[in-house]
């Protein structure tokens, strides 16, 4: 498979992190083409080499239709899909014990939907391909603000590691990236003040570049750079790994 034929599928590729991933894969030459699959296209113009496909990624029928519409061969699959539905499917009065339907909805979005998508397209991945699943810092530490979300992301990482073993014979690598605190529509639905508080309440990774904040939160480009690296030939010996792009947030002593 030559680079001129390399094609990536990025799920939920119209969001904050997804858009950055699409741009990074193309700008760094990891692939020549990207299929962006999402429920709605972003407001920005897609970069050259990217095309949008409308798909409700939680609908098995639409996922199957997406798989049928893809090129015959893929070299990269990035599952950005995840998060929590806002508002939730049922009122949550106690985050420690959300209603069963809310728990199931979060697990489906962050774990089961990623499984269904990957299963639908895995036979199109050629030897030397890479899968990268976007996890969260919540997978690596207690996540009291949403135990369901933390549990789902931890399960996603466990499944990703098992998948790395299952696909090793086909020369397909599987890794995950754990974003830290990236300002997004998900956080906007919570509170900016709370976001800034949790960003400060960690071990700050000081920046060496001039005029750089010593404790800034992560931005989407930071996550995308790690994803692009893991999907590139430079990471050809990396599989079953989880890279935390969190600026030291996982070193915080207070569980969130």
Tell me the CA distances in angstroms from 34 to 28, 113, 127, 248, one per residue in order.
13, 20, 18, 31
Q: What is the pLDDT of residue 219?
A: 84
Q: What is the pLDDT along the chain (256 residues), one digit of tens a residue?
A: 445 579 999 999 999 899 999 999 999 999 999 999 999 998 889 999 999 999 999 999 999 999 999 999 999 999 999 999 989 999 999 988 999 999 999 999 999 999 999 999 999 999 999 999 999 998 998 888 899 999 999 999 999 999 999 999 999 999 999 998 765 555 555 566 655 666 655 655 666 666 665 556 678 899 999 999 999 999 999 999 999 988 777 776 555 5
CB 138 within 8 A of CB 186: no
Q: Name the strand (E) or helix (H) holding 126.
A: strand 125-134
Q: What is the pLDDT of residue 186?
A: 58
Q: What is the pLDDT of residue 236?
A: 97
Largest distance between two CA atoms of the chain = 53
Q: What is the pLDDT of residue 127?
A: 97
100: how many CB neighbours lie within 10 A of its CB? 9
Quickly name the fold that domain 3-251 has.
Answer: Rossmann fold (3.40.50)
CA distance 53 to 46: 12
Q: What is the pLDDT of residue 181?
A: 76
Q: What is the pLDDT of residue 217?
A: 66
pTM greater than 0.85 (yes/no): yes
Residue whose C-alpha is closest to residue 35's, from 23, 52, 15, 20: 52
């Amino acid at each position: 498979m030559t680079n001129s034929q390399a094609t990536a599928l990025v799920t939920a590729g119209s969001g904050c992190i997804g858009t950055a991933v699409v741009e990074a894969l193309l700008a760094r030459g990891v692939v020549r083409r990207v299929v962006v699959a999402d429920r709605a296209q972003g407001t920005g113009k897609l970069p050259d080499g990217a095309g949008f496909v409308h798909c409700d990624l939680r609908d098995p029928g639409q996922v199957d239709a997406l798989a049928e519409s893809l090129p015959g061969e893929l070299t990269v699959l990035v599952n950005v899909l995840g998060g929590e539905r806002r508002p939730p499917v049922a009122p949550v009065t106690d985050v420690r014990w959300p209603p069963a339907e809310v728990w199931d909805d979060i697990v489906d979005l962050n774990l089961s939907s990623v499984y269904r998508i990957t299963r639908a397209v895995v036979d199109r991945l050629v030897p030397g391909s890479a899968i990268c699943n976007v996890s969260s810092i919540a997978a690596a530490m207690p996540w009291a603000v949403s135990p369901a979300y933390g549990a789902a992301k931890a399960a996603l990482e466990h499944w990703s590691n098992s998948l790395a073993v299952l696909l090793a014979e086909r020369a397909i690598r599987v890794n995950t990236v754990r974003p830290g605190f990236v300002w997004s529509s998900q956080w906007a639905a919570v509170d900016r003040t709370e976001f800034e508080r949790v960003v400060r309440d960690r071990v700050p990774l000081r920046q060496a570049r001039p005029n750089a904040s010593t404790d800034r939160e992560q931005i989407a480009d930071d996550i995308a750079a790690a994803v692009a690296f893991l999907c590139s030939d430079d990471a050809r010996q990396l599989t079953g790994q989880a890279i935390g792009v969190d600026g030291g947030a996982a070193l915080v002593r207070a569980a969130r």
